[in-house]
Structure 1
Amino acid sequence: MLDVLLDTVLDSVRLLPFLFLTYLFMEALEHHTGSRLSRKIQSAGKWGPVWGGLLGVIPQCGFSAAASSLFAGRVITVGTLVAIYLSTSDEMLPILISESVPVATIVKILGSKVIIAVLSGLIVELVYVRLLKKQEKEMDIHVVCEEEHCHCEDGIVVSAFKHTVKIFCFIFLISLVLNGVIGLIGEETLAGLFSGLPVVGELIAALVGLIPNCASSVVITQLYLDGIIRSGAMMAGLLVNAGVGFLVLFRLNRDYKQNAAIIATMYVLGVLWGVMIEACGIVF
């Protein structure tokens, strides 16, 4: 147990400078481009899912939460919302960068998410958008930071520091649990839970990804980097991982049946794309 604790501390501490620099860049990007990207998606019209998928992949503070607010005000359509949800990755990108994952691998993962998000959003748009004819009053997008408590208003350095500390704690605790579990039952046994039966890994990973918390994307990314889950399960979990966007959706959109249908659609899409990636033998 002492060895597990020591390894977890060392592995987590060495990520700190990389996490801070990554979040500093992300905060700077958000402060300079956030409002312009939101306006672009609002004015995209029928091309909303395309812009949602393309712009959703850009790391920003509370982008999925902003999308939930816009959808609750009927400023964007269901297809655009789904595209943004599928494209965002919460804490995946900072972890991949801090773990020195090759740039080519990161680009492949992000590119795949964008393509999947755009195609899925357009399909959802064709199925649902004609049913959403009522235009409701636009909501105030500034409520997003209050809902997420992301402290975007504190300045980029303070915000980056707070994000770094928060995710460091998540990484440390999750790594400690994973290292302990792996030490007890063995890496091969744990991997067998995800890969022993077809589709099971994607079903489980997508369920984990639905958890509206930073921890879910941390778990999925770490499991993939540790070789516990494969590309299909990883993508299934990260596609459905919209972070606090789901919480904001339920808080602001009072049509709870519609909210449940959106989340169910996200889950089905995540599993289907994950299974397809696994069946095609795609490796990132």
Structure 2
Amino acid sequence: METLFDILLDTAIDGVKMLPFLFGAYLLIEYMEHRAKNLHRALGGPFGAVGGALLGLVPQCGFSAAAANLYARGLITTGTLLAVFISTSDEAIPVLLANPGSLGLMGQLLLTKALLAVAVGLIADLFLRRGRRGEKPSAPAAHEEEHHHHHHGCGSCDAYRGRHPLLRAAAVHTLQIFAFVVGIMLALNLTIALIGTENLSRLLLQNSLWQPVLAAFIGAIPNCASSVLLTELYLSGSLTFGSVVAGLTTGAGLGLVVLFKQNHNKRQNALILAALLAIGIGAGIALQLLGY
């Protein structure tokens, strides 16, 4: 019982220390998302993949889902969609921002994912260019598309956006993710106490080229808990940098769910999912072989 109490106390203390940084991160994110305008214009054109990669880096709840909607309507290319999905990191960035000592690692992660997203997006468009189908949305439709946001498994952004001030929206989002972070931290601490660090390392295939494969499939789960789990495992030293890149490359939030729901070409959707997994696994293994 004493060990359990110590674990609960340590988890609570670590969580409370993180809370103000997490709120600050989401306050900044809410402000940035409110400033985002003309999404379909930013993602259009021959270099839409570059815009997609940059927009995907912003840790918010709408870009991957909005990009999937735009793709289903034929307004952006396959390369642009892949760039958004690859650069998206779901809730990983706020969790890293809540750990001030990991800011350097966050920069390395963002740079790696941005370069990978741009490269894959541009190459994909060279071979699989999916131009507009000739349909141009009306102004109201475009407006609706720009503001059609989904939150990846942690509640709806729409419930707070536009009708509540930034502070309240940031507070709600902070509390939602805080609950996930503390829950995952508690589960990890209990797991380590019960089975030991070495056994956990074996379960996570540490020092194995199979770890990025495992991480990529965990990341593909459309829920913010998967990105929080991957980030916490990385911060604890249980995952390599290559593995967390693999997992966060496939973690596109609810973008994949929206894609499968809105785009009726199921074969095309399956190929995009397979491409994401292949890219994530390939990048993760390559980085691991390079010693990252």
Common fold: TM-score over 0.5: yes
What's the counterpart of residue 121 of structure 2?
Answer: 121
- The answer as to whether partners of 1:85 and 1:240 remain within 8 angstroms in 2 is yes
Distance 1:31 1:134 in 2: 29
Shift of 1:251: 2.1
Shift of 1:22: 0.7
Distance 1:38 1:21 in 2: 28
TM-score by length of 1: 0.91
Shifted more, 153-162 versus 199-208: the winner is: 153-162
| SS at 1:180 equivalent | helix
What's the counterpart of residue 40 of structure 1?
Answer: 42
Could you list the runs of 4 or more consecutive aligned residues of structure 1 that deviate by over 6 angstroms after TM superposition?
Answer: none
- The answer as to whether partners of 2:62 and 2:150 remain within 8 angstroms in 1 is no
TM-score by length of 2: 0.88
Q: Point out where structure 2 has 5 or more consecutive residues left out of the alignment.
A: none
- The answer as to whether partners of 2:223 and 2:253 remain within 8 angstroms in 1 is yes
Partner of residue 261 from structure 2, selected from 251, 259, 263 = 251
The one-letter amino acid of 1:229's match is L
Partner of residue 178 from structure 1, selected from 182, 188, 191 = 188
CA deviation profile, 1:205-261 (whole Å, cap 9, x unmatched): 001100111101100000000000111111100111111111221222122222121
Distance 2:199 2:289 in 1: 22
Distance 2:20 2:104 in 1: 22
Q: Point out where structure 1 has 5 or more consecutive residues left out of the alignment.
A: none
Shifted more, 152-161 versus 164-173: the winner is: 152-161
- The answer as to whether partners of 1:73 and 1:137 remain within 8 angstroms in 2 is no
Shift of 1:279: 0.6
| Distance change (3 Å), C-alpha of 1:172 and 1:103 | closer
Shift of 1:146: 5.9
What's the counterpart of residue 152 of structure 1?
Answer: 161
Distance 1:200 1:52 in 2: 29
Please provide the CA RMSD for this pair: 2.0
**What does 1:18-37 correspond to in 2, within 5 Å?**
18-32=21-35, 34-37=36-39
Percent of aligned pairs with the same residue?
A: 41
What's the counterpart of residue 239 of structure 2?
Answer: 229
- The answer as to whether partners of 2:76 and 2:132 remain within 8 angstroms in 1 is no
Distance 2:224 2:37 in 1: 23
Distance 2:40 2:132 in 1: 22
What's the counterpart of residue 16 of structure 2?
Answer: 13
Distance 2:104 2:206 in 1: 29
What's the counterpart of residue 264 of structure 1?
Answer: 274
Shifted more, 215-224 versus 240-249: the winner is: 240-249
Count, aligned residues: 278
2:277 pairs with 1:273: no
| Distance change (3 Å), C-alpha of 1:146 and 1:92 | closer
| Distance change (3 Å), C-alpha of 1:224 and 1:117 | same
What's the counterpart of residue 68 of structure 2?
Answer: 68
Distance 1:178 1:146 in 2: 28
| Distance change (3 Å), C-alpha of 1:188 and 1:62 | same
Shift of 1:27: 0.5
- The answer as to whether partners of 2:25 and 2:97 remain within 8 angstroms in 1 is yes
CA deviation profile, 1:78-134 (whole Å, cap 9, x unmatched): 10000011111111111111111343322111111100111111222223225x674
The one-letter amino acid of 2:56's match is G
